[in-house]
Amino acid sequence: MGNPLDFIVTAGQRHDAPWAIPLIEGVKAENLLADKGYDSDDIRLFATENGIIPHIPPRKNREEERPYDKHLYKERHKIECLFGFLKHYRRLFARYDKLKRNFTAFLHFAAALQWLK
């Protein structure tokens, strides 16, 4: 856990949640750890239909309380540590590359470095 498996590069002003389903499609996993921004019925339904248990805290405006394993959710810090690792590379966090192809290539290079740790 905490090592990158796949990326979808989108525009910086786009919301991430619409890309959650294409990102986890075809992934063999037992659990899905995501923050409140990914709390949607579509994502939860897709995960459960594919045998993945979603551990997503409910948004404040959700009328019904959705259960999730709080102890397992604490492991999500490893995902945040991955983003912190990637932000060490100024080229990534400042998005100096104008072409998506170049940005994605360096992102994969940085991800490979994380796997080698």
Helices (H), 1-117: 20-24, 41-49, 70-73, 77-86, 90-93, 100-116
Q: What is the pTM of this model?
A: 0.78
Could you tell me what percent of the chain has a pLDDT over 70?
99
Could you tell me what percent of the chain has a pLDDT over 90?
42
Whether the per-residue pLDDT at 13 is higher than 70: the answer is yes
pLDDT digits (tens, 9 = 90+) for 31-80: 999 989 899 999 999 999 999 999 999 988 888 888 888 889 888 899 88
Q: What is the predicted pLDDT for the residue at 105?
A: 95
